[in-house]
Amino acid sequence: MITTKDLTYQYPQSSKISFPNITVHPGKALLITGESGCGKTTLLHLLSGLRNPLSGQIKIGESAITNFTPAKMDQFRGSHIGMVFQNAHFIESLKLIENLLLSPFVKSREKAEKVAKRLQIEEFLNRYPRELSVGQQQRVNIARAVMNEPQLILADEPTSALDNKNCTKVIDLLIDEAQKNNAALIVVTHDDRVRAEIKETLELAPLVL
């Protein structure tokens, strides 16, 4: 479960952004939409502790992450949060199975193989990332996000690079994996195709300059 309270953020030489309070329970999903530049990704980075808010509170489980030191935040993120990015980033020199096992908080190789099977990517595991299509890469990305059995999964534009067929498949898999891990899922996107899949939606207001 994740809850936020009175989150604000300020970019240097820019106006302050205030975010609405969010609560997502385990196994539930929340879609955050809004126009480009309204601070969707910023909010996601705040939630993952990659940026620090100007003010406000974020609680993941029982932990108030806004009080963490950067190094402790990295460790907390590694063990409790799974992240899916718009462009699937990989360590290019590692095979996909090695990419799955990359996190220091990975539970086991068996877990990786089980998840890979569910996502139908087990046949790619001994290949290198660049040998895969974008849709396949995004499925590996989802697999990696749940390798640490996270409490929270944060997805940033996970479908924008995909065609319709892959889009539905990837978002279904994402929701499915979040539920199997009993994790709260937050998807940030401007992709309208996702609206059909996630009922609960939060639309961020455009930034007032």
Q: Give, for 190, the enclosing helix (H) or strand (E).
A: none
> Are the CB atoms for 153 and 185 separated by under 8 Å?
yes
Instruction: Report in angstroms how near the CB of residue 140 gets to other proteins at its nearest.
Output: 12
Q: Residue 104 Cβ, how far from other proteins at the closest point, in Å? A: 5
Nearest approach in angstroms of CB 71 to other proteins is 5
The least CB distance from residue 149 to other proteins, in Å, is: 13
Query: What dihedral angle (degrees, nearest 10) is formed by the CA atoms of 191, 134, 146, 27?
Result: 30
Query: Quick one: 51 or 169, whose CB is closer to other proteins?
Result: 51
Binding region for other proteins (CB under 8 A): 41, 45, 48, 50-51, 70-71, 74-75, 77-79, 83, 85, 89-94, 98, 101-105, 144, 148, 156
Q: At what angle do helices 134-145 and 164-180 cross, to 10 degrees?
A: 10
State which residue, 14 or 23, has the beta carbon closest to other proteins: 14
Q: Which two tokens stand for residue 121?
A: 């990517």
C-beta closer to other proteins: residue 92 or 192: 92
- Closest approach of Cβ 199 to other proteins, in Å? 28
- What is the 3 state secondary structure string of 104-173? CCCCCHHHHHHHHHHCCCHHHCCCCHHHCCHHHHHHHHHHHHCCCCCCEEEEECCCCCCCHHHHHHHHHH
Cα Rg of the chain, angstroms: 17
Other CB atoms within a 10 A radius of the CB of residue 193 amount to: 15
Least Cα distance to 155 among 126, 103, 191 occurs for 191
Which CB atom, from 83 or from 185, has the smaller least distance to other proteins? 83
The nearer residue to other proteins, 99 or 159, going by C-beta atoms, is: 99
Write down the least CB distance from residue 161 to other proteins, Å.
15
- Whichever of 74 and 113 has its CB closer to other proteins, that residue is 74
